[in-house]
Amino acid sequence: MYQPQMTLDPKERGILEGKEGETKAKMMECLVRFGDTFGAKRLVPLTYKEGHLVTSFGIGLLTPIYPMMDTLIAAGLKADGGFTADPRPMDFKNVKCDLLEKLVFKKIMYNQQEHYEDQLTKVGLKSEDSFTCTCYLPEVGNTPKEGDILSWAESSAVVFANSVLGARCNRNSGVLELFGTLLGYAPEFGFLTDEGRKASWKVIVKCTKRPEAQILGSAIGMKVMEDVPYVMGLDHYLKKLPDEDTIAYLKDFGAATASNGAVGLYHIAGITPEAVEQGEALIKADAKEYVIDDAEIERVKASYPIMWKKKDKKAYRCFIGCPHLTIKQLNDWTDALTKALQESGKKKLVIDTVFTTSPAVAAEFEKSPKYQEFLKTGAHLSSICPLMYVDNPLTHRHRIMTTSNKLRTYSESRYYTDVEALSIISGKEGK
């Protein structure tokens, strides 16, 4: 049996020794080894039982996962609080694919999707509509509160939970987060400790206008990597939480910090809960400093590589909503699209544009009159993960544009700010 370096109480040790079955013993060994690797002294019980899984796609190549899931099911394991999962990879109705693409997606890439969703349901997936990376939004309702300890993966959801909600979660890997959720424990290290939540970077924003969330997050992520930044100067531009625009800004900012770097927690002076409560006491004495002004934002944006083969050609498709959009963002985009089309004299968007949001937000949006306005623009609404569409050899041939710095980083998509994208997709540019 594995000899843990951390201290386990009798119940935890019993699980490791197999008193609750062989499957739980193996899962516990994974969790304990993970904690030992990072110097955890003990396990702590999860105070928030609802999980969130990063692995939502039944990709054929992930061969070890399917028998492992069968083993969990055979052992009768099911998450007490249930869990949500990242978005699905396919939606042929709203994200049009040609025959070859459909064939490759369904029969080769994601050929285990139905089987895997069935397995997820058996171990605790909350519902067939639980596929989104913004599980923490009120419409979805998987929303921990300040101080809660959780076992999630999906970097954009973890950084939001830690920073905006004040919950405590490490940047777990896929499957390990499921083991933690099923066992009800997390190893105590990193963001689960007070010390691990202190900032080792002081970031001072000195821009003359509110910086784009996606570029600011990218700049900070690339500078601090996995460290914790304490960001000063943004409270001039953001209203207090739970303002909807602030939530959307921090969602997009956080996803960029977590993907362009590896940030799992940030503090925003005057805005995020721990920064409001503790102020600059959160900053370590030896913290480094990074000043961001207009020129730095421009420098960072200009540094993004453009990987399209034909850089001067127009885009084949545009994805907006990575992470998934809030309802306020969908409403704002609808107004902006309608106005831009009036100005360009076009009836419909000139680029095939897919807006992505959670099934729960989509259901709310579809009930509102705004949805009819949205449809009139020719835009599409989907709940897929655009990365899973973009990131495969077949779709590399397409020129994809996006307003998401996360999607840009992980694919060959070209980044545009919201204003730039609006101008291109509505046909205003080049009129």
Distances 6 to 13, 44, 342 between C-alpha atoms, Å = 11, 12, 64
Least distance in angstroms from the C-beta of 193 to ligand F3S: 27
**Where does this chain bind ligand F3S (CB under 6 A)?**
86-87, 133, 156, 255, 322-324, 385-387, 406
Query: Which amino acid makes up residue 209?
Result: K
Query: Which amino acid makes up residue 206?
Result: K
What is the rounded distance in angstroms from the CA atom of residue 97 to the CA atom of residue 380?
13
Nearest to ligand F3S of 272, 404 (CB atom): 404
Least distance in angstroms from the C-beta of 270 to ligand F3S: 26
Please give the torsion angle defined by the CA atoms of residues 218, 219, 223 and 229, in that order, rounded to the nearest 10 degrees: -80
Nearest to ligand F3S of 144, 386 (CB atom): 386
Least distance in angstroms from the C-beta of 182 to ligand F3S: 22
